A and B are shown apart, each in its own frame.
Chain A
Amino acid sequence: MYARYLIAALFAGASTGLIAGILQLLFVQPVLLHAELYESGTLVHFGATAVSAHPELPGFDAMRDLLSVIFTMLTYTGYALILLAAMGIAEDRGARIDGRTGILWGIAGFVAFHLAPGFGLAPEVPGVAAADVTARQIWWFATAATAAAALWLIAFGDNWMAWGGAAILLLAPHIFGAPEPDVFTGPVPTEIGALFAARALGVGLAAWVLLGSFAGYFWQREGAHADGPARS
């Protein structure tokens, strides 16, 4: 069983991370690099002269971008392990896990780990003002955990107590509120910040749908592989 979790997570996470890493380089990285021109002071918003919205951006940086792809693969392998843990327990309780149902699991993972934390802490473009990083990390983990628990209750609960509990779990971190900065200091135009958040969430959704489907597929495949000789 340990091998099944690890192998399925490695294949699903690495393949998803590779695709997500490329999508990020294509769609998110240019927005990030654009923002960094303002963060570093190379461009100044509302300065003496109007600034072109289409500046010359730094191009492909082999070391930096390769590291980004590797870390994206690692991150989604971590997410795959978490997702497969939940999938394995659900399958034990009678749920069907494969590449098709995995899509739903992926959407749920996106909600728990991207959308719910992002509702309070929007994906940050470099240069924005933010509260203390430790406080935000604690809120991030708490929000992801409560959202994941809530989605489990919605999916597998069978009474109004479970669904009511899920609603409370989903709402609680946002009513409590995410850590916010005392003052705004961001030098980056709002247009860039908004596009960055939208792109980060969009690529996140694409990645999670792939992750769920791949995790379900490799989970099934490894299971058939492991059970094969015993059954025949």
Chain B
Amino acid sequence: MTTITKTRSGLRIVPAFFALALGIAVISLTGHVQAAALHDAAHDVRHATGFPCH
């Protein structure tokens, strides 16, 4: 029983870190990357969401 629980926990931590990494990537893209096209498209959102903008 203990072994099963441990195996399941081990399997669950990897997807969690995958989700975390993907989430940070998305936030970086929408909120932080300074590429001109992205900056212009996301400009209002960056200000309204409190990201450092210019």
Main secondary structure of the interface of B (DSSP, over half): helix
Residues from chain A with a CB closer than 8 A to the CB of B4 are none
Least Cβ distance of A209 to chain B in Å? 15
Least Cβ distance of A11 to chain B in Å? 14
Which residues of B line the A interface, CB within 8 A? 9, 11-13, 15-20, 22-27, 29-32, 34, 41-42, 44-45, 47-54
> Looking across the interface, which residue of chain B has its beta carbon closest to that of A207?
B49
Question: Given the interface contacts A79-B27, A124-B53, does A133 sit within 8 Å of B13 by beta carbon?
Answer: no
Q: Which among B15, B26, B49, B52 is the interface contact of A5 at CB below 8 angstroms?
A: B15
Q: Which among A2, A121, A123, A137 is the interface contact of B48 at CB below 8 angstroms?
A: A123
8 contacts between A and B (CB under 8 A): A1-B15, A2-B15, A4-B15, A68-B48, A75-B49, A78-B30, A88-B12, A88-B16
Is A195 an interface residue when CB atoms closer than 8 A count as contact?
no
Which residues of A line the B interface, CB within 8 A? 1-2, 4-6, 9, 21, 24, 28-29, 32, 64-65, 67-68, 71-72, 74-75, 77-86, 88-89, 92, 114, 117-118, 121-126, 130, 133, 136-137, 140, 196, 200-201, 203-204
Q: Are B30 and A74 in contact (CB under 8 A)?
A: yes
Question: Given the interface contacts A5-B15, A5-B19, A80-B23, does A75 sit within 8 Å of B52 by beta carbon?
Answer: no
> Looking across the interface, which residue of chain A has its beta carbon closest to that of B52?
A136
Q: Which among A2, A67, A118 is the interface contact of B18 at CB below 8 angstroms?
A: A2
Max chain B Cβ within 10 angstroms of own Cβ: one of A78, A124, A140:
A78
Residues from chain B with a CB closer than 8 A to the CB of A117 are 50
Task: List the 4 closest A-B pairs by CB distance, nearest first.
Answer: A81-B23, A78-B26, A136-B52, A82-B23
Q: Are A200 and B47 in contact (CB under 8 A)?
A: yes
Question: Given the interface contacts A74-B30, A75-B30, A79-B23, does A133 sit within 8 Å of B52 by beta carbon?
Answer: yes
